[in-house]
Chain A
Protein backbone atom coordinates (compact mmCIF):
# COMPACT_ATOMS: atom_id res chain seq x y z
CA UNK A 1 0.00 0.00 0.00
CA UNK A 2 1.46 3.36 -0.91
CA UNK A 3 2.16 5.95 1.76
CA UNK A 4 -0.71 8.13 2.95
CA UNK A 5 -0.44 11.89 3.12
CA UNK A 6 -2.30 14.71 4.85
CA UNK A 7 -2.10 18.07 3.16
CA UNK A 8 -2.92 20.77 5.70
CA UNK A 9 -4.21 24.14 4.51
CA UNK A 10 -3.82 26.58 7.40
CA UNK A 11 -3.36 29.92 5.63
CA UNK A 12 -5.83 32.28 3.97
CA UNK A 13 -5.47 32.58 0.18
CA UNK A 14 -3.51 35.11 -1.84
CA UNK A 15 -1.42 36.58 1.00
CA UNK A 16 0.93 33.71 0.24
CA UNK A 17 1.23 30.98 -2.39
CA UNK A 18 0.78 28.25 0.24
CA UNK A 19 -2.78 27.38 -0.79
CA UNK A 20 -2.09 27.16 -4.48
CA UNK A 21 1.14 25.20 -3.99
CA UNK A 22 -0.46 22.69 -1.59
CA UNK A 23 -3.27 22.20 -4.08
CA UNK A 24 -0.75 21.48 -6.84
CA UNK A 25 0.99 18.99 -4.53
CA UNK A 26 -2.31 17.28 -3.74
CA UNK A 27 -3.12 16.83 -7.42
CA UNK A 28 0.37 15.49 -8.11
CA UNK A 29 0.21 13.07 -5.18
CA UNK A 30 -3.11 11.85 -6.55
CA UNK A 31 -1.33 10.87 -9.75
CA UNK A 32 0.72 8.43 -7.63
CA UNK A 33 -2.40 6.87 -6.13
CA UNK A 34 -1.38 7.94 -2.62
CA UNK A 35 -4.27 7.96 -0.15
CA UNK A 36 -4.68 11.69 0.37
CA UNK A 37 -6.54 13.72 2.95
CA UNK A 38 -6.95 17.46 2.47
CA UNK A 39 -7.41 19.24 5.80
CA UNK A 40 -8.59 22.82 6.17
CA UNK A 41 -7.90 24.30 9.61
CA UNK A 42 -7.12 27.72 11.09
CA UNK A 43 -7.31 30.42 8.44
CA UNK A 44 -7.02 27.67 5.84
CA UNK A 45 -10.84 27.47 5.83
CA UNK A 46 -10.79 30.75 3.90
CA UNK A 47 -9.30 28.82 0.98
CA UNK A 48 -12.78 27.36 0.47
CA UNK A 49 -14.77 30.61 0.55
CA UNK A 50 -17.18 30.65 -2.35
CA UNK A 51 -17.07 34.00 -4.15
CA UNK A 52 -13.34 34.70 -4.31
CA UNK A 53 -12.37 37.28 -6.93
CA UNK A 54 -8.56 37.62 -6.84
CA UNK A 55 -8.52 38.78 -10.46
CA UNK A 56 -9.08 42.23 -8.96
CA UNK A 57 -5.50 41.85 -7.65
CA UNK A 58 -4.33 40.27 -10.92
CA UNK A 59 -3.96 36.95 -9.10
CA UNK A 60 -5.16 33.64 -10.55
CA UNK A 61 -8.19 32.15 -8.78
CA UNK A 62 -7.03 28.70 -7.69
CA UNK A 63 -10.08 28.11 -5.49
CA UNK A 64 -12.12 26.82 -8.44
CA UNK A 65 -9.61 23.95 -8.64
CA UNK A 66 -10.64 22.72 -5.19
CA UNK A 67 -13.81 21.47 -6.88
CA UNK A 68 -11.58 19.17 -8.95
CA UNK A 69 -10.23 17.33 -5.90
CA UNK A 70 -12.92 14.61 -6.03
CA UNK A 71 -12.25 14.12 -9.75
CA UNK A 72 -8.69 13.24 -8.75
CA UNK A 73 -10.06 10.70 -6.24
CA UNK A 74 -9.23 13.04 -3.37
CA UNK A 75 -12.48 12.52 -1.51
CA UNK A 76 -11.23 12.89 2.04
CA UNK A 77 -11.69 16.61 2.55
CA UNK A 78 -11.89 17.58 6.22
CA UNK A 79 -12.97 21.06 7.31
CA UNK A 80 -12.24 22.04 10.91
CA UNK A 81 -15.60 23.03 12.48
CA UNK A 82 -13.87 25.00 15.23
CA UNK A 83 -12.09 27.14 12.64
CA UNK A 84 -15.36 27.91 10.86
CA UNK A 85 -16.90 28.86 14.19
CA UNK A 86 -13.86 30.89 15.23
CA UNK A 87 -14.07 32.99 12.05
CA UNK A 88 -17.85 33.25 12.11
CA UNK A 89 -18.18 31.29 8.87
CA UNK A 90 -20.79 28.70 7.96
CA UNK A 91 -21.10 25.89 5.42
CA UNK A 92 -22.96 28.02 2.89
CA UNK A 93 -20.06 30.48 2.78
CA UNK A 94 -17.96 27.73 1.24
CA UNK A 95 -17.60 26.21 -2.21
CA UNK A 96 -20.29 23.67 -3.02
CA UNK A 97 -18.20 20.48 -2.82
CA UNK A 98 -20.24 17.44 -1.75
CA UNK A 99 -17.19 15.67 -0.33
CA UNK A 100 -16.56 18.37 2.30
CA UNK A 101 -16.72 16.80 5.75
CA UNK A 102 -17.19 19.16 8.69
CA UNK A 103 -15.27 17.55 11.53
CA UNK A 104 -14.02 18.07 15.06
CA UNK A 105 -10.38 18.54 16.04
CA UNK A 106 -10.25 14.92 17.24
CA UNK A 107 -11.12 13.57 13.80
CA UNK A 108 -8.31 15.65 12.31
CA UNK A 109 -5.99 14.59 15.12
CA UNK A 110 -6.45 10.90 14.43
CA UNK A 111 -6.16 11.32 10.64
CA UNK A 112 -2.86 13.18 11.14
CA UNK A 113 -1.62 10.55 13.58
CA UNK A 114 -2.39 7.73 11.15
CA UNK A 115 -0.91 9.32 8.04
CA UNK A 116 2.64 8.69 6.88
CA UNK A 117 3.31 12.26 5.80
CA UNK A 118 1.77 15.52 6.97
CA UNK A 119 2.56 18.62 4.95
CA UNK A 120 1.97 22.31 5.62
CA UNK A 121 3.42 25.30 3.79
Chain B
Protein backbone atom coordinates (compact mmCIF):
# COMPACT_ATOMS: atom_id res chain seq x y z
CA UNK B 1 0.00 0.00 0.00
CA UNK B 2 1.28 3.49 -0.81
CA UNK B 3 0.93 6.17 1.82
CA UNK B 4 0.79 9.96 1.58
CA UNK B 5 2.84 11.36 4.44
CA UNK B 6 1.51 14.77 5.44
CA UNK B 7 4.17 16.76 7.31
CA UNK B 8 3.41 20.09 9.00
CA UNK B 9 6.55 20.46 11.12
CA UNK B 10 9.93 20.93 9.41
CA UNK B 11 11.72 18.90 12.09
CA UNK B 12 9.51 15.86 11.56
CA UNK B 13 10.37 14.98 7.95
CA UNK B 14 13.77 13.54 8.88
CA UNK B 15 12.13 11.44 11.63
CA UNK B 16 9.62 9.92 9.20
CA UNK B 17 12.02 9.46 6.28
CA UNK B 18 13.34 6.01 7.25
CA UNK B 19 9.77 4.69 6.97
CA UNK B 20 8.85 6.42 3.69
CA UNK B 21 9.08 4.32 0.54
CA UNK B 22 10.12 5.72 -2.80
CA UNK B 23 6.60 5.16 -4.13
CA UNK B 24 4.96 6.80 -1.14
CA UNK B 25 4.17 10.51 -1.25
CA UNK B 26 5.33 13.40 0.90
CA UNK B 27 3.14 16.48 1.20
CA UNK B 28 4.57 19.49 3.04
CA UNK B 29 1.98 21.80 4.59
CA UNK B 30 1.93 24.69 7.05
CA UNK B 31 5.42 25.46 8.45
CA UNK B 32 6.96 22.42 6.76
CA UNK B 33 6.65 24.08 3.32
CA UNK B 34 9.91 25.93 4.08
CA UNK B 35 11.66 22.63 3.40
CA UNK B 36 10.60 22.97 -0.25
CA UNK B 37 12.52 26.22 -0.59
CA UNK B 38 15.96 24.73 -0.16
CA UNK B 39 17.60 21.61 -1.55
CA UNK B 40 18.59 20.54 1.97
CA UNK B 41 15.53 18.30 2.21
CA UNK B 42 16.51 15.79 -0.46
CA UNK B 43 14.59 12.53 -0.18
CA UNK B 44 14.49 9.22 -2.04
CA UNK B 45 10.75 9.67 -2.48
CA UNK B 46 9.55 10.09 -6.06
CA UNK B 47 6.35 11.94 -5.13
CA UNK B 48 7.20 15.21 -3.39
CA UNK B 49 4.54 17.90 -2.99
CA UNK B 50 4.23 21.22 -1.18
CA UNK B 51 1.04 23.13 -0.52
CA UNK B 52 1.04 26.26 -2.68
CA UNK B 53 -1.27 28.30 -0.42
CA UNK B 54 1.11 27.86 2.52
CA UNK B 55 4.09 28.94 0.42
CA UNK B 56 2.24 32.02 -0.85
CA UNK B 57 1.12 32.87 2.69
CA UNK B 58 4.75 32.85 3.77
CA UNK B 59 5.90 34.79 0.69
CA UNK B 60 8.33 32.08 -0.41
CA UNK B 61 6.55 30.52 -3.35
CA UNK B 62 9.16 31.83 -5.79
CA UNK B 63 11.88 30.16 -3.73
CA UNK B 64 10.38 26.69 -4.03
CA UNK B 65 12.65 24.11 -5.63
CA UNK B 66 11.72 22.17 -8.74
CA UNK B 67 12.03 18.91 -6.80
CA UNK B 68 8.82 19.82 -4.92
CA UNK B 69 5.64 19.91 -7.02
CA UNK B 70 3.31 22.70 -5.89
CA UNK B 71 -0.26 21.64 -5.28
CA UNK B 72 -3.28 23.69 -4.29
CA UNK B 73 -6.04 22.64 -1.91
CA UNK B 74 -8.20 20.83 -4.51
CA UNK B 75 -5.13 18.88 -5.66
CA UNK B 76 -4.35 18.15 -1.97
CA UNK B 77 -7.74 16.48 -1.67
CA UNK B 78 -7.11 14.58 -4.90
CA UNK B 79 -3.78 13.32 -3.54
CA UNK B 80 -5.47 11.89 -0.46
CA UNK B 81 -7.60 9.83 -2.83
CA UNK B 82 -4.72 8.81 -5.07
CA UNK B 83 -2.75 7.18 -2.27
CA UNK B 84 -4.09 4.17 -0.35
CA UNK B 85 -3.93 6.05 2.93
CA UNK B 86 -2.71 9.32 4.43
CA UNK B 87 -0.44 9.52 7.44
CA UNK B 88 -0.27 12.85 9.24
CA UNK B 89 3.10 12.55 10.97
CA UNK B 90 2.88 14.99 13.88
Residues of A that sit less than 8 Å from B by CB: 8, 10, 18, 41-42, 82, 105, 108-109, 112-114, 116-118, 120-121
B77 proximity list for chain A (CB < 8 A): none
When A41-B15, A108-B19, A112-B19 are in contact, do A118 and B1 touch as well, CB less than 8 Å? no
Of the A-B pairs whose beta carbons lie under 8 Å apart in the complex, a sample of 11, sorted by A's number, is A10-B90, A41-B19, A42-B15, A82-B18, A108-B19, A109-B21, A112-B3, A117-B85, A118-B85, A120-B88, A120-B90
Report the minimum CB–CB distance from B57 to chain A (whole Å).
Answer: 24
Nearest opposing residue in chain B for A106, CB measure: B18
Q: Once the chains bind, are B19 and A121 in contact (CB under 8 Å)?
A: no
Q: Once the chains bind, are A120 and B89 in contact (CB under 8 Å)?
A: yes
Of residues 67 through 90 on chain B, the ones whose CB sits less than 8 Å from some CB of chain A are 85, 87-90
Interface size on B, residues (CB 8 A): 14
Nearest opposing residue in chain B for A18, CB measure: B90
Residues of B that sit less than 8 Å from A by CB: 1-3, 15, 18-21, 24, 85, 87-90
User: Across chains A and B, which 10 residue pairs bring their CB atoms closest together, nearest first?
Assistant: A105-B18, A109-B19, A118-B87, A120-B90, A42-B15, A112-B19, A120-B89, A108-B19, A113-B1, A121-B90
Give A105 to B18 CA distance when docked, in angstroms.
6
Give A121 to B85 CA distance when docked, in angstroms.
17
Q: Once the chains bind, are A114 and B1 in contact (CB under 8 Å)?
A: yes
Nearest opposing residue in chain B for A107, CB measure: B19
Q: Once the chains bind, are B3 and A113 in contact (CB under 8 Å)?
A: yes
Report the minimum CB–CB distance from A8 to chain B (whole Å).
Answer: 8
A117 proximity list for chain B (CB < 8 A): 85
Give A82 to B15 CA distance when docked, in angstroms.
11
Give A113 to B2 CA distance when docked, in angstroms.
7
A112 proximity list for chain B (CB < 8 A): 3, 19, 87
Report the minimum CB–CB distance from A110 to chain B (whole Å).
Answer: 9
Give A112 to B84 CA distance when docked, in angstroms.
12
